[in-house]
Structure 1
Amino acid sequence: MSRDGETGATGVDPEQLWLGHLQPRRGRRPAYSREAITAAAVELADAEGLEAVTMRRVAARVGAGVMSLYSYAPDKETLLELMVDHVSGELPTTVAPTGDWRADIKAVAHLQRALMLRHPWLPAALSTRRTPGPHTLAFMERALAALRPTGLDGAARLEVFAQLTAFVVGHVTHEIAQASASQAPGRAAAEARYLAAVAADGHHPELAAALSAPGRPLTPEATFTRFLNRLIDGLGTE
């Protein structure tokens, strides 16, 4: 990866990233903290999108020289790892399981969705492999504890958590795209007229039946909850 802020194939060493910084530093006290640099990158992504996050832009935001940032994050891929874990620190991790694993894991999913909506760049950042940092691991512990009453072994619970996270990432990605598309003047009305015409042409009886079914709440929250209920309520135990 070049040092121009472009993301390439990941070469992040998770031991160096998450454990190396715990080693005592020698020499002069650093001028900036890794946390401050990461927070600046998150603010930039929140305001302008993930594409705006380059080492040069982050350096300007914290008032540092570009080269000085490479001792904290040697490339953008490392910075993304730090950003993902930084915002994961917003997720509550000390809530004890209630024993109702379906309700508890649904709560986990709703928290993930809310986090991704606050940081719309997060689904894209999670689309490639990430090594969980300390905040991510803490939330994962909460989810795995919530799944304990299922009787699933540890590996299966990890799979359920991964499946749940993938569902939330996909749903929020679609939700954000739909919200953006709906802002186009007349788009929603045109889509409704088109589907009504297709349903009436006699060639799509299943679609016609679906469109004539009683309406359901179409708010983003209600739609997410319905989809989530289908996913979680359909999970069995091994």
Structure 2
Amino acid sequence: MAGRAATPEVIWARPERAGRGPKPAHSRADIAAAAVRIADADGIDAVSMRRVAGELGCGTMSLYNYVPRKEDLYELMVDAVSGEYELAEEAVGGDWYAGMLGLGRQTRAILHRHPWLVRVMSTVYGSSPNALRYLEHCLGVLDRLDAPYGTKMELIAMVNGTAMTSVANEIAVAERTRGLPWSPEQEQEVRSAYLAGQLAGGAYPRLAGMVAQAPPPGDADESFERALRRLLDSFRPEG
């Protein structure tokens, strides 16, 4: 593949454009923005070096001078949308619970704006500029939580994981019924009726007890909020 390096490298450690010559016609920000537009409109599978080059009006091979690998392109995309966080300075050193609750909600909103993100997000991208900015801010929000940095990083990862899992499931449910003559709610109603019939036979007493005690199901926003608060509650100091 064009531009394939013999050893691992970090895209952020490279010059904006490899080699000599005139001033680059495009920036990494331009390239990332073009790729994000394509993914937002047509999904991550539609993102290719050829498609991005066409969006920018340049040759496909010339794009490799800026981005040597498609994996690097994904990293640029993830970093670009990570810049959408509103990192309020007043949250640093304040109420860590409220701060992380707000960040978790932002994460979920960003994932919904860019549904392709759940497929390409990776901890490998944790050293990108906006990822470092986000992590530094999160640790600042957690200043008043009496816990070692390792525990705080676990909390940040869990908040992100909760948002990722929530949104991935919502996307999967929506995709399953896309183009079908019924809605996700109608399918859920049919499946709930089937489950009720299975539980009524007595073969699953614990599940039947759980369903009997469960509160009425809320919408996806309520489910996420409940899960996020339970997670944060588990990190509250005892006593």
Q: Which of the five TM-score ranges fits, normalised by the shorter chain?
A: 0.7 to 0.9
Evaluate the alpha carbon distance shift between residue 132 and residue 145 of structure 1 in structure 2; reply closer, same or farther with a 3 A threshold.
same
Structure 1 position 84, deviation (Å): 0.4
1:99 matches 2:94: yes
Please name the residue that 1:160 is paired with.
155
TM-aligned CA distance change 1:52 to 1:230, over 3 Å: same
Matched, 1:125 2:120: yes
Q: Which residue of 2 aligns with 1:235?
A: 235
Contact 2:99–2:141 (CA<8 Å) still a contact in 1?
yes
Match of 2:47 among 34, 53, 65: 53
| Aligned residue runs from structure 1 range 157-196, under 5 A | 157-183=152-178, 184=180, 185=182, 186-196=186-196
Partner of 1:151: 146
Alignment partner, residue 137 of structure 1: 132
Alpha-carbon distance in 2 for matches of 1:88, 1:113: 12
CA distance in 2, matches of 1:88, 1:234: 26
> Structure 1: which amino acid aligns with 2:225?
T
Count of aligned pairs: 230
Per the alignment, residue 63 of structure 1 pairs with: 57
Please say if 1:81 is aligned against 2:87. Answer: no
**Does 2:14 align with 1:13?**
no
- Root-mean-square deviation (CA, aligned residues, Å) is 2.6
Equivalent residues of 2:16, 2:66 under 8 A apart: no
1:207 aligns with: 207
Check whether the contact 1:85–1:132 (CA below 8 A) recurs between aligned residues.
no
Cα separation, 2, equivalents of 1:92 and 1:135? 11
CA contact (8 A) 1:81 1:131 kept: no
- Contact 1:12-1:77 at 8 Å conserved across structures: no
Distance 1:178 1:12, change over 3 A: farther
For residue 225 of structure 1, what is the amino acid of its counterpart?
E
Structure 2 unpaired stretches of 5+: none
| Structure 2 letter corresponding to 1:211 | V
Structure 1 counterpart of 2:97, one-letter code: R
Distance 2:224 2:49 in 1: 35
Say if 1:166 and 1:12 are closer, same or farther in 2 by CA, change over 3 A: farther
| TM-score normalized by the length of structure 2 | 0.86
The one-character-per-residue Cα deviations of 1:38-58 (angstroms, maximum 9, x if unpaired) are 101001111111111110111
Aligned equivalent of 1:219: 219
Q: Distance in 1 between matches of 2:109 and 2:236?
A: 26
TM superposition shift of 1:182: 4.8
In the alignment, the residues of structure 2 paired with residue 215 and residue 3 of structure 1 have an alpha-carbon distance, to the nearest angstrom, of 56
Q: Which runs of 5+ in 1 are unaligned?
A: none
Displaced runs of 4 or more, over 6 A? none
